[in-house]
Structure 1
Amino acid sequence: MPQTAAASAPVDRRHPRRSPRIHRAWFVAAVAFVTIIGAAGFASLPGLLIEPLHAEFAWSRATIGFAVSVNLALYGLTAPFAAALMDRFGIRRVVALALLVIASGSLATVWMTAPWQLVLFWGVLVGLGSGSMALAFAATVTGRWFTARRGLVTGILTAAGASGQLVFLPLLAWLVDHHGWRPATVTVSLSALAVAPFAWLLMRDHPADVGLAPYGGTYAQKPAPVPGAARRALRVLLDAARTGPFWLLAGTFAICGASTSGLVKTHFVPAAHDHGMPVTAAAGLLAVVGVFDVIGTVASGWLTDRFDSRRLLAVYYALRGVSLLFLPMLLAPSVRPPLLFFIVFYGLDWVATVPPTIALCREHYGDDGAIVFGWVLASHQIGAAGVAFLGGLTRDLTGSYDTVWYASGALCAMAALMAMTIRRR
């Protein structure tokens, strides 16, 4: 009987429990990893939709690119508010609602007949939902549950998006090629719905909820909910905007978005198709990017724990710029070794910039670092949105993507220089 009573007694949240052999923080990180993978289908689909929608509805590539740009811009602009909402309402509620919004927006595109519906469903709804599942989610989980190994965990959670791309892209490309684009959008919707209960039931908002200290840290009471999420997000922006590091981080990350999500993720498949490469082969190459992105991002997180984040960013952007300058010469009807080398090299650098950027936000802005990173991520997505539209427009006007590849390579060189001018704190 004494054992039964002790077992049924409520947990005392005022004092920490002894940490288990495997800290609960790693379990929470694993849940976050699976949740991000399940929601990653939305990021794999835009590049596969351009040609089918152009063929079925005769919409221009610029029109389709505009809808993608709205999605990317809202993805970024929602992120800082999502980070503040997680402080106000908890991670579980925000993430579960975001997954439902992604699922509804993706599913609604099945019945669209006009471009404005593509902008509303895929641009606005999926953009808002995915913005709440943005990298600010990874930054919030890492900041709350980890004191040690933050760079490594940030790299792992960032790589989850690439893992999702690896899982979904070949499947979605096959569905688009054999059954049309509608079954692919339904698949994205169902995957988001599948992980919503998983996140709701297994995610925990704070270590104090289970009576633990953060991994590698000391126990602290769970902070009270922060009211006025939108007001706080704007206040943090105004405070950060008065500092030089914020603008340098925002500028470099805008170029990061322009040269990855806006350019390669959106336009690589149609650009390769222009050179005679089958869509499934081009999508398979992007999936390989996802494989090496996992390796590169986790390695970048490990390096961020040990080396100057500014120097890492400078190296990453410089190498990315060089690789993009060579890409127009490598595209061909078939996959050849030089193109495979580009895919591996570029994949290692795909989002390796994220761990050092988050580390610099945390270094300069402390407890507001996750929200500041949300605003920096907004600049990333604005850069991506601009190139998603301009890339399609350039293709419509010139019949080629070559100009966009060269311009992005030059921008990456500029980002490398900007990273080195960020002051150390």
Structure 2
Amino acid sequence: MTLSGLLTSQLIEELGWTTLSTTVGITINMILYGATAPFAIHSMEKYGIKKIVVLSLVVLCVGALVCTINSKIVFNLAWGILVGLGCGALTMSFGALFARSWFKRTGLPTGILTASAVTGQFVLLPGWAKLANEFGWRAPLIGCVVLTVITLLVICLLLNEKRSAIRTVTAYHLKPDSTFVDVFVNLKTFVKNKKFWVIALAFGMCGATTNGLMWSSFTPAANMEGIPIADASYLLLIVGVLNIPGTIGAGWLSDRINKQALLSVIFILRGASLIWLPFILTQPVGWELIAFAVVFGVFDVATVPPVINLCNQIFGDQGPSAFSWINVAHQLGAGLVALTGGMIAFITGSYYMLWFIAGGLCFIAAVIVLSPYHSEQPVQSVSP
């Protein structure tokens, strides 16, 4: 997913594309990354986890291969639809489903699962950037195809009852008689609850100030200011590494302190770092940008465990399903900001204003999460 910013920069350099050339595909990708999750979870419960995981990885592999075709239309369709669907089926909601299945206190395990996902998104970027510089823009996509094929082999060989006991968990959730209509029946129940809307609004602003920025806008923004793509990728590597203690720590804290207060502090500190960024992005990579990467990394995805924990407390066994729909709002926010960033850069020649808009959204979210409608009190009993 984080390849979008790197690919945009490479396509501008090598093929003369503009920031708008990939904006539509990136926006569709981010929206589907969220919108796919409720249906993916339903499918895992109906058809089994392994089948949906394999299908998602195959779609992802095909999408990455199709993206190597030198065509703006093909790239936007493949990146937007195929890669969006493939990644969306294995998003944070996937982790929420497992955490709810195995653990009574979901904060810490959710933090670890989220940290692993974000680490995969960021840690590989410097390697992809080096490949792109040496072999061209197609190299990172081919590298992802290779990793996907390896993952498929591992899944086919190891994801079975004998080696992982995963079938027992799948059987517990198996709903062979369910239909896709049930997905919307659950949504109808959620939208009647004010707490759902408050969490969704705040999480939408979360997506706007994380995925919508760092995945698609940071690398081209840094490159416009004279920072090499490789250096920008190393900064994102720092963000990814610091996500590990930040997200795990937030998960541990969400099991022990008020989640609303925790979320508010995270949003305030994230917003402050984003307001600082435009003043230091014009400088060569030094301690200021490294400090930004450290601070932003700690609070980048730290909102996810508290939000999942809130969903599990408020909606009980329907918590993962509720979170999957709330994650749609997260990705809608991300997609809108990715689109906005591309338009701002195209019109003004800089992403300068985008960082102030994102910082302001963080401060608004910090207030929203303190709303009385964002209470941790359950609306229905939680199954033991």
TM value normalised by structure 1: 0.84
Contact 2:48-2:174 within 8 A present in 1 as well = no
Aligned to 1:301: 251
Q: Does 1:388 align with 2:343?
A: no
**Residue 56 of structure 1, CA deviation:** 4.0
2:101 to 144, 160, 163: 144
Q: Contact conserved, 2:123 with 2:241, CA < 8 A, in 1?
A: no
Give the distance between the partners of 2:75 and 2:202, measured in 1 at CA.
Answer: 30
Cross-structure match for 2:88: 131
Structure 1 unpaired stretches of 5+: 1-42, 215-219
1:5 equivalent in structure 2:
none
Q: Which of 225, 228, 239 is the equivalent residue of 2:189?
A: 239
Corresponding letter in the other structure for 2:43: L
Query: Deviations along 1:83-142, whole A, 9 cap, x unmatched?
Result: 1111111211111111111111001111232x2211221110000110001111101111
In 2 relative to 1, CA 270–221 (structure 1 residues): closer, same or farther, beyond 3 Å? closer
Q: Distance in 2 between matches of 1:95 and 1:108?
A: 20
Which of 349, 354, 357 is the aligned partner of 1:399?
349
SS in structure 1 opposite 2:257?
Answer: coil
Name the structure 1 match of 2:382: none
Structure 1 position 224, deviation (Å): 4.3
Which residue matches 1:328? 278
Q: Are residues 1:76 and 2:30 paired?
A: no
Kindly indicate whether the alpha-carbon contact (under 8 Å) linking 1:80 and 1:233 is maintained by their aligned counterparts in 2. Answer: yes
SS at match of 1:222: helix
- 1:159 maps to a residue whose letter is A
- Cα deviation, residue 418, structure 1: 0.8
Does the CA-based 8 Å contact 1:325-1:406 persist in structure 2? Answer: yes
Residues of 2 paired with 1:411 and 1:63: CA distance? Answer: 26
Change in CA separation of 1:394 and 1:245 when aligned onto 2, cut-off 3 Å = same
- State how far apart, in whole Å, the 1-side matches of 2:43 and 2:339 are: 30
Q: 1:222 and 1:162 mapped to 2: Cα distance?
A: 28
Aligned to 1:94: 52
Q: Which amino acid aligns with 1:249?
A: I
CA positional deviation for 1:302: 0.7
Verify the 8 A CA contact 2:9 2:223 in the aligned structure 1.
no
Distance 1:51 1:225 in 2: 45
**2:111 corresponding residue in structure 1:** 155
Q: Report what 2:143 is aligned to.
A: 187
Partners of 1:62 and 1:390 within 8 A in 2: no
Show the 5 A alignment for 1:47-62.
47-62=5-20
- Asked if the contact 1:96/1:197 (under 8 Å) is kept, the reply is no
SS across alignment from 2:124? helix
The CA RMSD measured in Å over matched residues stands at: 2.1
Instruction: Give 1:261's match in structure 2, choosing from 201, 205, 211.
Output: 211
Task: Give the Å deviation of 1:155.
Answer: 0.4
Tell me the residue number matched to 2:70. Answer: 112
SS of corresponding position for 2:216: helix
For 1:210 and 1:403, the matched residues in 2 are separated by 47
Return closer, same or farther for 1:56/1:228 CA change in 2, 3 Å cut-off: farther
Q: CA deviation at 1:146?
A: 2.0
Q: What stretches of structure 2 of length at least 5 have no aligned partner? A: 378-384
1:40 is matched with which residue? Answer: none
- Find runs of 4+ consecutive structure 1 residues off by over 6 angstroms: none
What residue identity is the alignment partner of 1:78?
Answer: T
Deviations 1:254-285 (A, max 9, x none): 11111111112211111111111111001100
Q: Which of 360, 375, 379 is equivalent to 1:423?
A: 375
Preserved contact between residue 79 and residue 136 of structure 1 (Cα < 8 Å): yes
Q: 1:314 aligned to 2:264?
A: yes
CA contact (8 A) 2:160 2:167 kept: no
Paired amino acid for 1:121: A
SS at match of 1:185: helix
Aligned length: 375
Is 1:272 aligned to 2:222, yes or no? yes
The 5 A counterparts of 1:285-300 are 285-300=235-250
- Residue 199 of structure 1 deviates from its aligned partner by 2.5
Opposite residue 384 of structure 1, the aligned amino acid is A
Gap change, CA 1:97 and 1:181, over 3 Å in 2: same
Q: Which amino acid aligns with 1:138?
A: G
Please give the secondary structure, in 2, of the residue aligned with 1:338. helix
Structure with the greater alpha carbon radius of gyration: 1
Aligned to 1:28: none
Name the counterpart of 2:301.
351
Q: Distance in 1 between matches of 2:221 and 2:16?
A: 18
Q: Aligned partner of 2:81: which letter?
A: V
- Structure-2 change in CA distance of 1:424 and 1:53 (3 Å): same
For residues 200-237 of structure 1, give each alpha carbon's deviation from its aligned partner in whole angstroms, at most 9, with x where no partner exists: 433368xx96798x8xxxxx983542433421211111
Cα 1:291–1:221, aligned 2, differ >3 Å: closer, same or farther?
closer
Deviation at 1:382, TM superposition (A): 0.7
The alpha carbon displacement at 1:395 in A equals 0.4
SS at match of 1:119: helix
Correspondence for 1:164 among 90, 99, 120: 120
CA distance, structure 1, for counterparts of residue 88 and residue 171 of structure 2: 29
**TM-score, normalising length: structure 2:** 0.93
CA 1:327 to 1:186, structure 2 compared with 1: closer, same or farther past 3 Å?
same
2:358 paired residue number: 408
Give the counterpart letter for 2:85 in structure 1: L
